[in-house]
Amino acid sequence: MTNKIPRQNIPSIPSYNYQPTPYIGISKQQVIELRKQYINPVVATYYKQPIMIVEGSMQYVFDETGKRYLDAFAGIATINVGHSHPHVVKAVQEQSAKLQHLTTLYLHPTIAEYSKMLVDKMPDDLSMVYLVNSGSEANDLAMLMARVYTENFDIITLRNGYHGMGGNTMGLTSQSTWKYSPPHNFGIHHALNADVYRGPWNNNENNVADKYADEIKNIIEYATCGKIAGFIAESIQGMGGAIVYPDGYLRKVSDYVHQAKGLLIIDEVQTGFCRTGKGFWGFELQDVKPDIVTLAKGIGNGLPLAAVVTTPEIAQAFTQKIHFNTFAGNPVSCAAGKAVLETIERENLQQNCSLVGDYLLEGLDNLQEKYECIGDVRGCGLMIGVDLVKNRETKEANSELASQIHEL
C-alpha cells in the first residue's frame, strides 16, 4: 500500500475528431481583471490558475488556446447528454428563432408536450408538473406545497444534504460551508445522516437501515407536534460526497413520514435523468414512491430549467392562491428539456451510464486496494464518490490530498 500517486501514471485522453473554433475574444487576463472589478467576489473559480473554457463538444471542453479537457464534472452534473449536443442545439436554435419567451399565461405547445414527456417517465400518479428555473427554486416550492397541502409546518431533512441556497432552501442545506448566519432554519430539523461509512452504524450491522430510519421517527416524536409537512432528501447525497444510504432506508423513512401525515419529497436534482445508471430516477434504487420530486441540473443540459412533479391531489391544494413565475416553462428551455429526454432514449444513455459507471467503480476499487489514502469508494452509475482519508482507521478526511488531485 502506498500514499503517493505517481504523476507519470496519469493517462492522456484519447484522440477526438473535433476542431474547436479559433478563439478571438478578450484575453484570459482581461477576463480575470473584469471579473475582479465587476463580479461579486463570492463568485469563485476552481484551481490556483483558473481555467477559461470557451467551447464544448460532448464530453470535452476547450480553453482559449484550443487545449482539450475531459469534463468529468459534466458542467457541475448538468451536461448529461454532452456539451452542445447537436440535437439539443438544433432544438434550442429553432425555438429561439421562432419565439424566445412566452409566459404560461398564454398557450404554447412545447411546455404542454414536454410536461407529458416528463410525467411519462414518473410513477403513475406523479402526474402534475410545475416548471421553475433552478434546483433551489424547485425545493423551495416543494417545501411550500408540502406545507400548504398538509397544513403542517415541520420539515425533516438529513445532515450533510444540499438542497440549494435560497432563503428557505439554505435551511434544508446541512453543511456549514453553504450556510450564512441570518436565521433560515424555521421548522426544519436535521436528522442524523444515514452514512454507513462515517456514521455510527455500517452495512455490517443488522437492521442498519432501520437504525438510521428510527432517527426520523425520534425527531417526529420528540421535536415536532407529531405531525409534519414532510421529509426531504436526495436519493444519493451529491454535494455531501456521494453518500449512499443503506438498502431499504428511504422505504422505512417513508412509512414514518406518512404515519406523521407528511409528504416524502425526493430531490433528484443530481440523481435524476439516469445519472445512477440503474434507474431513470435515483429513488428507484430505494424502491420508494415519493409524493413530490424536484428536478434540475441535467433536465435541460445546461439551460435554466427545473421542475416540481407531484400528484394531482397535492397540486390541487396549491391552487388556493395564485402562484406565478416569469421565466418558468419558457419555450426555449422546454425545447431543450424535450431534446434531452429524446437523446437519453435514442442513445440509450441509461445503459451507457450503468456500463461506464460499473467500469469506473471497478477501476476505483482496484486503486483502493493499492492506495491507503482511498478510504472508501461508493456510488452508482456516474454518481460516484472516492473518500480520501489520512488514516483508514480514523477516517479523517484528507482534504489536502483532494486539493492536490484536483489541481493535477
Ligand X SMILES: Cc1ncc(COP(=O)(O)O)c(C=O)c1O
Binding site for ligand X (CB under 6 A): 134-136, 139, 162-164, 234, 238-239, 267, 269-270, 296
| 152 Cβ contact partners less than 8 Å away, ≥ 6 residues apart | 225, 227, 228, 229, 261, 262
Whose Cβ is closer to ligand X: residue 193's or residue 270's?
270
Shortest reach from residue 77's CB to ligand X, in Å:
7
* Spatial contact of 173 and 163, defined as CB atoms under 8 Å apart: yes
Whose Cβ is closer to ligand X: residue 374's or residue 382's?
382
Shortest reach from residue 368's CB to ligand X, in Å:
25
HSE-CB for 48 with a 13 A CA cutoff: 6
Task: Check the CA dihedral 253-254-259-260 and report its sign.
Answer: positive
Beta strands 306-310 and 292-295, pairing class = antiparallel
* Spatial contact of 277 and 353, defined as CB atoms under 8 Å apart: yes
Whose Cβ is closer to ligand X: residue 134's or residue 368's?
134
The residue behind cell 454532452 is 82
Q: Which residues pair with 9 in a beta bridge?
A: none
Closest-by-Cβ residue to ligand X is 135
Shortest reach from residue 362's CB to ligand X, in Å:
26
Q: How far apart are CA 135 and CA 265, in angstroms?
A: 13
Secondary structure element (H or E) that encloses residue 48, with its range: none
Beta strands 155-158 and 128-132, pairing class = unpaired
Shortest reach from residue 270's CB to ligand X, in Å:
5
Whose Cβ is closer to ligand X: residue 162's or residue 280's?
162
Secondary structure element (H or E) that encloses residue 309, with its range: strand 306-310
Shortest reach from residue 47's CB to ligand X, in Å:
19
Shortest reach from residue 378's CB to ligand X, in Å:
17
Whose Cβ is closer to ligand X: residue 227's or residue 278's?
278
Whose Cβ is closer to ligand X: residue 85's or residue 275's?
275
Shortest reach from residue 230's CB to ligand X, in Å:
15
Pick left, alpha or beta for residue 58 (phi over 0 → left; psi -120 to 50 → alpha; otherwise beta): left
